[in-house]
Amino acid sequence: MNKLLWIALTAGLIVILGIYGYNKWSASAAGDEVSITKDNAESLKVNIDFGVGNLYISGDSKEWVSGDFSYNHKKLEPKVNYKLRKNVGHVDIKQGSVTMLGFNKRKWKNDWDLQLTNDIPIDLEIDMGVSDSTLDLRGIQLNSLVINSGVSDSTIDLSGKWKKGSVRMWIWVLGM
C-alpha cells in the first residue's frame, strides 16, 4: 500500500512540474503584422475579440486594417479573417485561447496595436476581457460602436468632428 501511495505522489509531482515547465520554457516572444489591403468595399464591419493583455486601436491606416501583434505564447496567436460580401468588408480578429493550464498566467504578454482606415464607414464591435485598452477613435468614420468590456482599464477617445450626424453606440460593462 505504501509503495502505491509513493508512486501516485511521484506521478502527481511529475505532472505538476511538467505543466509548470511547459508554460515557463515553451513560451517565447512572437510577433506578427497584419495588413488588410484596400479593395472595393464601401464600408467595413470590424469585429475584434480580445481576451487578455494591452489593446491599442487608432485610425489613419493606409489599408483597411494594419498593425502589429506581440505575444509570448503560441496559444495567444490572433486569427485574422477578411471577406468581401457585396460591398461590405468583414474583418474578424480573434485572440487565441487563453484557457491554459499552469501557474504562469501573470507572465503572459499580449499586445495589439491596430490601425483602422479613416476612408469608409465602419461598424466596430470590440469584446475585451482582462485588458488595458486605449481606443483612439478620432477621425474614424464610425457608423456604430459596440464595446463589451470585462475587467479592463479602458480609455475611449471619440473627440473630433464627425462626418455623419450621429453614431449608434452601445457600451456594455461586464464583471465587477
* Residue 31 pLDDT > 90: no
| Domain presence at residue 139 | yes
| Domain presence at residue 91 | yes
| Domain presence at residue 144 | yes
For residue 165, what are the contacts with CB-CB under 8 A and spacing of at least 6? Answer: none
Whether pTM > 0.85 for this model: the answer is no
Range of the domain at 120: 29-173
At 155, the amino acid letter reads: T
| Domain presence at residue 163 | yes
Most confident of the following: 55-69, 103-117, 160-174: 55-69
Provide the domain count of the chain. Answer: 1
| Domain presence at residue 103 | yes
For residue 118, what are the contacts with CB-CB under 8 A and spacing of at least 6? Answer: 59, 60, 61, 139, 140, 141
* Mean pLDDT confidence for 84-100: 86
* Mean pLDDT confidence for 60-74: 91
Query: Cα torsion for 50, 54, 60, 66, to the nearest 10°?
Result: -60
45 vs 71, more confident:
45
